[in-house]
Amino acid sequence: MDTATQALPGFLESVRVADRALLDVARTRHLRPMEAYLLLIMLDEGDAVSTAHIAARVAASSSQAKQLALALQVRGLVQRRDRTGLTTLTPEGRREAAALATDVVQVLQQRLQPLDAPSAWRTITA
């Protein structure tokens, strides 16, 4: 078995830990996991994005992406333009997304430290 294959379980564990960290933080902020993903994506995008773009980024159908955006709109975190479907973060949404990102980073730092994820990633991609 080569070194990359041996490192794969450790790397996959770090991916699972990262996903679980986001799920746990989302729960504490009263967000569904996909809503949390969408807020982080919107924070990354910066500008208005289409429903199709959201769908591609969250690996969902356009219908699911629209429902996610509408759920966040009801909470005042995003604004959707009716005719175009372009979605942007509101000022409150930007604050929530930034706080979510900060919380996720803190949890990740705590949970990934004992796993040595960077070492596993370097081995796999070498």
Task: Please indicate, yes or no, if residue 56 is contained in any of the structural domains.
Answer: yes
Decide if 55 contacts 67 (C-beta within 8 A): no
Task: State the 10-residue block means of pLDDT for the chain, 126 residues long.
Answer: 66 81 93 92 87 89 92 95 88 95 88 68 57
User: Half-sphere exposure of residue 79, counting CA atoms within 13 Å on the CB side?
Assistant: 9
Residues with Cβ within 8 Å of residue 69, at least 6 apart in sequence: 38, 51, 54, 78, 80, 87
CATH of the domain at 99: 1.10.10.10
What pLDDT sits at residue 19?
A: 86
Alpha-carbon distance 45 to 89, whole Å?
Answer: 10
Could you tell me if residue 4 is inside a domain?
no
Domain that holds residue 15: 9-119
Residue 126 lies in a domain: no
Q: Are 22 and 36 in contact (CB under 8 A)?
A: yes
pLDDT at 7: 65
